[in-house]
Homo-oligomer: A and B are copies of this chain.
Amino acid sequence: MPPVSPTELTQVSRNCSFGGWQMVYRHASAVLNCEMNVGVYLPPQAETQPCPVLYWLSGLTCTEQNFITKAGAQSYAAQHGLIVVAPDTSPRGCNLPGEDDNWDFGSGAGFYLNATQQPWAQHYHMYDYVVDELPGAIAANFPIKPGYQSISGHSMGGFGAVMIALKNPGRYKSVSAFSPILTPAQVQWGQNAFSKYLGNDSDLWDAYDPMYLIKAALERLPILIDQGEADSFLETQLQPHVFAQVCETLQHPLMLRMQPNYDHSYYFIASFMGDHLAHHAQALAG
């Protein structure tokens, strides 16, 4: 059997939504060495013209389903004419020892990096998947406006969005995040993932650490962050104030909006999704 190209998408589901289509596809990822699900929202505008693309990276435990069913993004994507691409959060079904044992590591917790440690290095290359392979598959299948893409995400995916934008100057027109993990080398979620995926030498973690990357940033792309003040992970895992301090020192533009009463859930995300999609639509216009 000839190898299947990652650009060959198989339709899993198709639902009309706000005049466009919420699709879920499955494809054979070469860099992840497994099959992956990805949600793609095609706004009504995509029927007649090329559209910019927003990549959404989900958080720990999520599949492609959480965002597409709970975030309410389709309404705003239809309004602004944005294609929204929401991949799964890790390789799955790879039969790696312990891959399903923990909710904050392995399946559902790929952390958007390229693992170097065994056995994860055989599959866990979510960085390459999100930055290169998936955009290639999207470009091959949908009417995208080349060069017009942005990135956002939640929690682990907010970390992914900020980290990927910082590592790839010029590639994204805008970046935003909800409740991102901003100091991964200093918190349990990040330390656990980085040590197992990248090894115990913490110097090697810098390549994926927003606290390091912000200092090396080659462009001053403004970062929009919404963070709930009632988020139970705020101080232990997320630490936006620590990141904000560095941004201030570096004069890197950061719009950190602390939102009273909001928690870590999709109720929070949905409440400010309109603001984020407007932010991206403005950057992607023209």
Contacts and interface: CB of A to CB of B under 8 A. Distances in A.
Interface string A257-286: 001011101111011001000000000000
Interface stretch (A2-10, A28-36, A69-77, A145-153): A69-77
Q: By DSSP majority rule, is chain A's interface helix, strand, loop, or mixed?
A: mixed
B228 A267 contact: no
Contacts of A70: 69-70
A49 to B, nearest CB: 19
A87 to B, nearest CB: 19
A15 B75 contact: no
A262 B18 CA distance: 9
Interface residues of A, number: 24
Contact of A74 (B75, B228, B263, B270): B270
Contacts of A74: 267, 270-271
Given A69-B69, A70-B70, A262 B16 contact: yes
A22 interface: yes
A16 B266 contact: no
Interface string A235-271: 0000000000000000000000001011101111011
Contacts of A266: 69
A17 interface: yes
A14 to B, nearest CB: 9
Given A261-B16, A268-B16, A72 B69 contact: no
Contacts of A270: 17-18, 72, 74-75
A271 B228 contact: no
Nearest to A22: B267
A230 interface: yes
A132 B270 CA distance: 32
6 contacts: A16-B262, A16-B268, A17-B271, A72-B72, A72-B75, A75-B274
Given A17-B271, A69-B69, 19 more contacts: A15-B263, A15-B267, A15-B268, A16-B228, A16-B259, A16-B262, A16-B268, A16-B271, A17-B268, A17-B270, A18-B270, A19-B271, A69-B70, A72-B72, A72-B75, A74-B270, A74-B271, A75-B271, A75-B274
